[in-house]
């Protein structure tokens, strides 16, 4: 990577593991995310999409790399870098390119520039905001739930088992279509749940930190795991993921099957103590 690109990517140390994933249907989905263990330090709270439709005033159907994507965030959207948790890149040979910006905070849609042009690596790109039209869901409502960054390590049936603890799954979990792109899948799983209670942002499912989001979901802190604030504004003492948070689900009766390796790690840790 040349010096110019290093200069426009101050978050490169945080945003890692740029991989060309293949979905079950063998469609391409490029994703660049914070390393998985970053869930211990911060949380993904919300996402929004930017459509890159033109390059140098001509229709753009190519792809950008994640450093160029960050330049659009920094130079075009002009939003603070600390908000950025990760970037998903979704592309098709026949459709406009999409940037899935993943944030560690809530964002007021009014603050997002709806349409802009930005210079990146000597080229001019036209970008447009793709609005989220889903209303906030409360108890008793049907929530459009997204399980983020599964990397195809969790099956729809596994996800349904966990979500059924929080309400009735009225639409089966399935891998998400990239917005506006047919037959292009992301590694996110979506479903619909009629809520009996709100779903935590983080769930210790099958040995992974399952990240769940939906419109209207209470914010959960990744430091104390309580609700109503984010880590950056937390004044409480930090809680341990395994000994405090996983313990809570263990004591609620979650099985070794549902907890996966977290169950074994927790049991080993308690026996040592």
Over residues 98-154, the pLDDT tens digits come to 887 877 676 777 778 889 999 988 899 999 988 776 778 899 999 999 888 777 788
The top-scoring range by mean pLDDT among 48-57, 66-75, 97-106, 246-255 is 246-255
CB contact at 8 A, 75 and 118: yes
CB contact at 8 A, 99 and 49: yes
Give the count of beta carbons closer than 10 Å to the beta carbon of residue 34.
Answer: 22
pLDDT of residue 59: 86
Architecture (CATH level 2) of domain 142-272: 2-Layer Sandwich (3.30)
Tens digits of residue pLDDT in 159-216: 999 999 999 999 999 887 765 556 667 778 889 999 999 999 889 999 988 889 888 8
pLDDT of residue 247: 93
pLDDT of residue 251: 92
Cross-strand partners of 103: 46, 84
Domains of the chain, residue spans: 3-130, 142-272
Structure-token pair, residue 74: 């920094």
- CB neighbour list of residue 116: distance below 8 Å, 6 or more residues apart: 76, 77, 126, 127
pLDDT of residue 31: 37
- CB neighbour list of residue 257: distance below 8 Å, 6 or more residues apart: none
């Amino acid at each position: 990577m040349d010096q110019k690109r290093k200069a426009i990517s101050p978050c490169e140390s945080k945003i890692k593991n740029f991989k060309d994933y293949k979905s079950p249907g063998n469609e391409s989905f490029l994703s660049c995310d914070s390393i998985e263990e970053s869930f211990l330090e911060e949380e993904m709270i919300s996402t929004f999409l930017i459509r890159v439709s033109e390059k140098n005033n001509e229709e753009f159907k190519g792809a950008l790399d994640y450093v160029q994507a960050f330049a659009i965030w920094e130079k075009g959207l002009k939003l603070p870098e600390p908000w950025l948790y990760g970037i998903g890149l979704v592309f098709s040979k026949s459709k406009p390119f999409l940037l899935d910006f993943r944030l560690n905070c809530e964002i007021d849609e009014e603050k997002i520039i709806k349409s802009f042009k930005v210079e990146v690596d000597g080229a001019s790109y036209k970008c447009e905001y793709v609005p989220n039209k889903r209303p906030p869901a409360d108890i008793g409502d049907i929530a459009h739930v997204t399980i983020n960054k599964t990397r195809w390590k969790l099956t729809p049936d596994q996800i349904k088992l966990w979500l059924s603890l929080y309400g009735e799954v009225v639409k089966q979990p399935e891998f998400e279509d990239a917005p506006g792109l047919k037959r292009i899948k992301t590694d996110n799983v979506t479903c619909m749940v009629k809520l009996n209670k709100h779903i935590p942002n983080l769930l210790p499912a099958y040995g992974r930190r399952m990240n769940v989001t939906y419109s209207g979901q209470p914010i959960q802190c990744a430091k104390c795991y309580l609700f109503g604030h984010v880590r950056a504004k937390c004044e409480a003492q930090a809680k341990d993921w395994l000994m405090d948070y996983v313990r809570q689900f263990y004591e609620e009766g979650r099985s070794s099957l549902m907890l996966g390796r977290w169950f074994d790690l927790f049991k080993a840790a308690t026996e040592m103590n």
